[in-house]
Amino acid sequence: MSMDKKDVPGYIFGLAGISIAIIITLYYLPAIFKNIAKLSVLPVSDYALLSFHTSIIFFFAVIIISIILVIIGLISLLKFKKDYTTSFSTKGSGKFFWYLAIYVLVDLILSFIISSVYPSYGITSVNKLPNFIQVYYYFVSVPFESLFLSVIPITVMMIIYGYASRKPRIILKSDDLNWNIVGAISIGVATYSAILYLILGENIYYVISAYITTLMVSIIYIKFGLMRAVLTNYIMSMISFLSVLASRFPEYSLLLTIFLFAWSSVGIYYLFLENESRQKRIQHERSRVQEEPRREIQVPLLKPEDLFIRSSCPECGGIVFHVKDNMSLECDHCHHIIAADDVGPFNVKVDIYGRLHDHYYSDSIYETH
């Protein structure tokens, strides 16, 4: 499969991010399964957004579900022979890695801005727990966040839009949606997530973060499919864990920061490319519209027998007459008298809107006398 040169940086950093996430997961997964009973120290509401009774079976189930979702997300990166859904299509994953790099850029900028006014941003009570519990937290947050912050709200909005526009198929194939619709749905979902986090009692900085990150994930969901949105959540969750872990070791923290800055630079590059591509599409559309021949609309004309005045004045071509008592006509312009039984050529054409066609007239005809 040939790859566009512009996609190469995105692939390199995207696959590196995926590799980091998988390595972290595989490294801590044995400890998670070995100490699965200790996972109960972590309140389920911290990652499931709801509070309910749990058991060992629940912990096994959410881990297995998370693993399956990540595997399906990785499969969605392949290029398929047919368009099945937005996640599994013929378009491949080149543009997905563009938006993943842009997401990293936005997340990095957001982290620096919030950290400058709220230094403990990104570090929670979870980060005081053993590393394997932290990885469990970040890993199993993926299906719950995907369900409550993406699947439910986006599906509801797309169902409403799909049936309102009589295009129900967009629920499965949404990548060709107009950017105005993508933006409207994404902003709606981001607003919903911010309100949800406010209700859950999060501080304003986490609410702002939830709004921005949900906005980016929603755009990826709509343009590239649910499974790639899930994969995005997974990658960013593991990067978040690694950021907290690396903060204890300055040399590793520096390496991670350099990596994220480089990845963000790729995001800047793709922002410019996407804007340039958008401008070209707009220009092409304008050129196409200008080059299209104008269609002449044929307006039905009234038949002569449907008109009271069928002929113009034989002297001046006027079409405005005064009807005299003997039913003769006097031209309002030149005052020529036309006998009641005179028949002239049917040279007055009027369309169904009352507009005149193909007859002699001048502004002087309508002068007031």
Q: Which helix (H) or strand (E) holds 270?
A: helix 250-291
- Spatial separation of the C-alpha atoms in residues 81 and 197, rounded to whole Å: 41
SS3 48: helix
Report the pLDDT value the prediction gives residue 366, as an integer from 0 to 100.
36
DSSP symbol at 351: B
Angle at CA of residue 262, ends 261 and 263, nearest 5°: 90
> Which tens digit of pLDDT belongs to each residue from 89-120?
888 788 999 999 999 999 999 999 998 888 88
Report the pLDDT value the prediction gives residue 304, as an integer from 0 to 100.
63
Between the CA of residue 174 and those of 167, 198, 228, 254, 350, what are the distances in Å?
10, 30, 13, 39, 49
Write the DSSP assignment of 52-66 as a string of letters.
----HHHHHHHHHHH
Between the CA of residue 50 and those of 44, 47, 197, what are the distances in Å?
7, 8, 12
**CA distance between the termini of the chain:** 83
Of the two residues 213 and 51, the one the predictor is more confident about is 213
Residue 336, pLDDT > 80, answer: yes
Question: Which residue from 146, 113, 133 is spatially nearest to 41, judged by alpha carbons?
Answer: 133
Of the two residues 121 and 15, the one the predictor is more confident about is 15
Counting DSSP H helices and E strands in the chain, the numbers are 10, 5
Per the prediction, the chain carries an average pLDDT of 85
SS3 119: coil
Residue 312, pLDDT > 60, answer: yes
Q: Which residues of 195-228 are buried (b: 16+ CB within 10 A; e: fewer)?
A: ebbeeeeeeebbbbbbbbbbbbbbbbbbbbbbbb
Phi, then psi, of 311 in degrees rounded to 5: -125, 145
Report the pLDDT value the prediction gives residue 64, as an integer from 0 to 100.
96
Report the pLDDT value the prediction gives residue 212, as an integer from 0 to 100.
93
Neighbours of 322 (CB within 10 A): 11
Read off the tokens for 38: 């200790």
The DSSP bridge partners found for residue 351 are 301
Residues 6+ apart with CB under 8 A from 143: 62, 65, 66, 69, 230
SS3 209: helix
In sequence order, what E strands does the chain have? Answer: 321-323, 329-331, 337-338, 349-350, 356-357
- Spatial separation of the C-alpha atoms in residues 253 and 242, rounded to whole Å: 9
> What's the whole-model pTM score?
0.75
DSSP symbol at 5: G
> Which tens digit of pLDDT belongs to each residue from 125-148?
888 899 999 999 999 999 998 889
Q: Pairing relation of β-strands 329-331 and 337-338?
A: antiparallel
Residue 86, pLDDT > 50, answer: yes
Residues constituting the chain: 369
Residues 6+ apart with CB under 8 A from 272: none
